Chains A and B, each alone.
Chain A
Amino acid sequence: NAGVMQNPRHLVRRRGQEARLRCSPMKGHSHVYWYRQLPEEGLKFMVYLQKENIIDESGMPKERFSAEFPKEGPSILRIQQVVRGDSAAYFCASSPDLDRVGNEQFFGPGTRLTVL
């Protein structure tokens, strides 16, 4: 059973360009989470999605950032008009059935975004 997959693993963008980060959850997982980790800092929650729905986006910046998890295909975190402050590691996690209490989250290896 493959784990959570993220691509690309490293992404370099110039200021003003768009960044698209992809996350394929573990097989059978319908819940996806995105976290951001700035250099030398802890992980900060960004958004929680279930297939085709955004459940909690309380950690998403109000502008330039969006996320989706379509019925088919990976979850996408999109950052428009990137700025240097967006340089960070972006981690995706997935979890199984909502009804199972104490759900652990399974994290991917992350995408390291560098904005020049």
Chain B
Amino acid sequence: DAKTTQPNSMESNEEEPVHLPCNHSTISGTDYIHWYRQLPSQGPEYVIHGLTSNVNNRMASLAIAEDRKSSTLILHRATLRDAAVYYCILKPGTNAGKSTFGDGTTLTVKP
């Protein structure tokens, strides 16, 4: 599986936007970029995914670089409930398959 690199931790203030980066320089043409998050003592939760174009949903936005070697998860207004570990994962688009989780970014949101 292609590897992703994320910062270990980030901090944000409540009500401010948060940009969580992910590098995936070895991404292949058919890999989708998925983001999950894991709140304390819970299972991971799907956030968003994309292939080439930027994506928006009710939880977040995903900005994908033109060369697809990096992406950024954008939380438009962080809340205390957004404090979690955020994982950036590459998944082949041709099968359901396993997800390979890295260490993720621990997001701390300060009131």
Q: Which residues of A approach B to under 8 Å, CB–CB?
A: 4, 31, 33, 35, 42-45, 48, 56, 58-59, 91, 93, 95, 98, 101-110
Contact = CB atoms under 8 A, between A and B. Distances in A.
Contacts of B34: 102, 104
13 contacts: A42-B101, A43-B38, A45-B101, A48-B96, A93-B43, A95-B96, A101-B32, A102-B49, A102-B93, A103-B96, A104-B46, A106-B46, A108-B43
Given A102-B32, A102-B49, A104-B46, A43 B97 contact: no
Interface string B54-94: 00000000000000000000000000000000010001011
Contact of A98 (B42, B95, B103): B95
A110 B43 contact: yes
* Of listed A56, A103, A106, residue having the most chain B CB within 10 A: A103
Interface residues of B, number: 24
Interface of B: 32, 34, 38, 42-46, 49, 51, 87, 91, 93-104
A105 B38 CA distance: 13
A91 B44 contact: yes
Contacts of B38: 43
A29 B101 CA distance: 22
A44 B43 contact: no
Given A42-B103, A91-B44, A95-B96, 8 more contacts: A31-B96, A33-B98, A45-B98, A101-B93, A102-B34, A105-B44, A108-B43, A110-B42
A45 B98 CA distance: 7
Given A42-B104, A91-B43, A105 B99 contact: yes
List the 10 closest A-B pairs by CB distance, nearest first.
A107-B43, A104-B46, A101-B93, A102-B32, A45-B98, A43-B101, A107-B44, A103-B96, A95-B96, A31-B96
Contacts of A98: 95-96
A25 to B, nearest CB: 12
Contacts of A104: 34, 46, 49
Given A43-B44, A107-B45, A110-B43, A33 B32 contact: no
